[in-house]
Amino acid sequence: MKLAATIAGSIRADLQAEMRGIEKAVAAGVKEAGDGLKGSLRKQVVSAGLGTRLAKAWRSRAYPNKDHDAASLVWTKAPQIIRTFDEGTVIRSKSGFWLAIPTPAAPKRGVGGKRISPSNFPEHRFGPLRFVYRARGPSLLVADGVRVSAKTGRMKAGIATAVMFLLVPQVRMPKRLDVRRAAERWSRRLPSLIGRNMQSE
């Protein structure tokens, strides 16, 4: 009986050690998958020409829980922007019929240092904006009595008229990202990642 109990205790200890090894392998594999997905999504953003700042908005966090229920959470701090380029969203004006798109001739910043728009256009420097309707193509908002330098792109007082904004009903953003495809690819790799970590135990 003592021998049987010793054997049973040894088997139990071996099984417990094996289970701990499996738990560690699962936790490590899941963390690798989460980190890998984050890296893939960051590369997607940079490759799409959307900049490193937006790419770094992708974050990940690992939860190495017990009983084989480890998890990795991957999320972005800029969900609306990512969704726009992931789905190819149609953008419409929130407060009017037209969506105003600045031209290269428009100042980069408006009154208060905010991104230029018709509402904060520095009329005290360049005069009021004038609406120009066109039956074909986008309508325009122009500034009269200005001159745009071909070398610097800056506006100065002059006798010309410069187009500041193109007015369109809506703009469809092109689909540049594929978040689902990246997530599915790393999900398929998860079993091999867990298996590799089990072999290294």
User: Tens digits of per-residue pLDDT, 158-167?
Assistant: 567 889 999 9
Token readout for 170 is 């809506």
- Does pLDDT of 8 surpass 80? no
**The pLDDT value given to residue 150:** 56
- Does pLDDT of 3 surpass 50? no
- Using CA atoms of 117, 163, 90, 108 in order, give the dihedral in degrees to the nearest 10: -40
**pTM of the entire predicted model:** 0.63
Contact between residue 27 and residue 70 where contact means Cβ atoms under 8 Å apart: yes
Cα–Cα distance list, 107 to 78, 119, 155 (Å): 26, 13, 8
- Region of 5 on the Ramachandran plot (φ > 0 left; ψ -120 to 50 alpha; else beta): alpha
pLDDT band per the 50, 70, 90 thresholds, residue 32: very high
